[in-house]
Amino acid sequence: MKTLKIEDLSKNFGTTEVLKKINLDIDEGNFLVLLGPSGCGKSTLLNIIAGLETINEGNVYIDDYNVSKVEPKDRNIAMVFQSYALYPSMNVKENMIFGLKQAKASKEKIEEQLKKVSSFLKVDELLNRKPSQLSGGQRQRVAIGRALVREPRIFLFDEPLSNLDAKLRVEMRREIKKLHQTLKTTVVYVTHDQTEAMSLGTKIAIMNHGVIQQNDTPENIYNKPNNTFVADFIGSPSMNLIKGKIIKKSDQFSFVGEDSNSTQIPINNYNFDKKIELDNKEIYFGIRPEHIYYKKSNEHDFEIKLKAELSEYIGNEQIITFNYSDQEILAKFPSTAKIEINKEMNLYFDLSQISLFDKNLKERI
């Protein structure tokens, strides 16, 4: 039984297709993050799960029960919003028990839930305050509390941390993680922040233009991106995607940049996903900046001589831009490394970490 299942879901606003044939499911206790750039449809998808938006095609199942036409309040879900959406005229206590009161829960049950949740979230001191008297972090905590008291099957979070300042955001991120570890409730979490997605999710679904690009564990998303969009979206700076083609010499496959005189990079040890004709195939060669080293760390590393063109110092690290076949390659080094600009130097590519993509289909090969 899947806690949440989405089947062939399509949604359009007028003539704009926002979601195209989405299929997605999530097991009990998982933390699914919907990640994507703004306008990719992730919030719409969340609103549809909540029942706040109608569906054009497809179905939503919660615990194998088709809830596509069920009212939000009867779906056994709770939602935390970006703007907190605390009712301004009610105090914290009234905010938290509003849902239970609507559901006509007994007085004892309400009191019990309120006590449990407010001490769990450490908001018991604040119960009589109005939302306007709370700080950003406190508001967020109350908003989570309001969701918790209802003991929902699924928690929905709609970019809950983006209104907080950077420091508080990291703190609240940890709290949400702890919360999930303690309660083990199923969560669907929308964000555009990849760090949030990586650190919180047990599964990440990356979306673009209303289509799920990859739905996988954070490790796989990072190490084995399905296509160039995912490769480019995850990581900072993002993966280097170098245009070029595969050439074959006496049963040895190598990659060479657009300028055929550039250094050939052997790709014999690469695990191809698909069986395709490799010779002369135009591809993107993908390698993350953090998998390029300035000294040999592993004997399988591939040595290559490249010219450093630009150095960006960012404190603990520095990002150096190199030139390979007239394309930029970024590498991330510790800031202690002494790199001379406009000079060729030896670099070491960790070829066990590369990804290759079909140049036309933009998909992993």
Partner 1 sequence: MQANTSASSYKQLEQKSKLTNMFLRWFLYFVLILFASYFIFPLYVMVVTSLKTMEEIRQGTLLTWPSALNFESWAVAWGGRGYGAGDTFLRPYFWNSIKMVVPAVFFSTFIGAMAGYVLTKWRFKGDQWIFLFLLFGCFIPFQAILLPMARTLGVLGISNSILGLIVVHTVYGIPFTTLFFRNYYVSIPTELVKAARIDGAGFFKIFFKILLPISAPIIVVTVIWQFTQIWNDFLFGSTFSFGEAAPIQVALNNMVLSSTSVKEYNVDMASAIIAGIPTLIVYVLAGKYFIRGLTSGAVKG
The verdict on 88 binding partner 1 (CB under 8 A) reads: yes
**Sequence-ordered list of residues with C-beta below 8 angstroms from that of 75, at least 6 positions apart, any chain:** 50, 51, 62, 67
**Sequence-ordered list of residues with C-beta below 8 angstroms from that of 133, at least 6 positions apart, any chain:** none
Q: Which of residues 285-344 bind partner 1 (CB under 8 A)?
A: none
Rounded to the nearest 10 degrees, the angle between the axes of helix 92-102 and helix 136-148 is 20
Q: How far is the CB of 97 from partner 1 (least distance, A)?
A: 10
Stretch near partner 1 under the rule CB under 8 A, chosen from 77-85, 194-202, 298-306, 330-338: 77-85
Q: How far is the CB of 51 from partner 1 (least distance, A)?
A: 8
One symbol per residue from 125 to 164: x for binding partner 1 (CB under 8 A), - otherwise; what is it? ------xx-------------x---x-------x------
Q: Which of residues 345-364 bind partner 1 (CB under 8 A)?
A: none
| Nearest residue (CB) to partner 1, 158 versus 216 | 158
Stretch near partner 1 under the rule CB under 8 A, chosen from 78-86, 219-227, 293-301, 330-338: 78-86
Q: Which residues of 173-201 are buried (b: 16+ CB within 10 A; e: fewer)?
A: bebbeebbeeeebbbbbbbbbbebbbebb
Is the peptide bond between 72 and the residue preceding it cis, with omega within 30 degrees of 0?
Answer: no
How wide is the angle at C-alpha 344 spanned by C-alphas 341 and 349, nearest 5°?
A: 105
The verdict on 103 binding partner 1 (CB under 8 A) reads: yes
What residues form DSSP beta bridges with 281? Answer: none
The verdict on 208 binding partner 1 (CB under 8 A) reads: no
The verdict on 83 binding partner 1 (CB under 8 A) reads: yes
Choosing from 86, 144, 356, 365, the residue that interacts with partner 1 (CB under 8 A) is 86
Alpha-carbon distance of 125 to 102, in angstroms, equals: 24
The verdict on 73 binding partner 1 (CB under 8 A) reads: yes
Task: Tell me the backbone φ, ψ of residue 107, rounded to 5 degrees.
Answer: -55, -45
The verdict on 116 binding partner 1 (CB under 8 A) reads: no
Residue with tokens 């404190």: 315
The verdict on 82 binding partner 1 (CB under 8 A) reads: yes
Rounded to the nearest 10 degrees, the angle between the axes of helix 136-148 and helix 107-120 is 140
Closest CA to 330 of 351, 353, 347, 355: 347
Choosing from 55, 70, 85, 127, the residue that interacts with partner 1 (CB under 8 A) is 85
Choosing from 57, 68, 98, 129, the residue that interacts with partner 1 (CB under 8 A) is 98
The verdict on 102 binding partner 1 (CB under 8 A) reads: yes
Choosing from 58, 72, 137, 237, the residue that interacts with partner 1 (CB under 8 A) is 72
Residues near partner 1 (CB under 8 A) are: 47, 50-52, 71-73, 77-79, 81-89, 98-99, 102-103, 131-132, 146, 150, 158
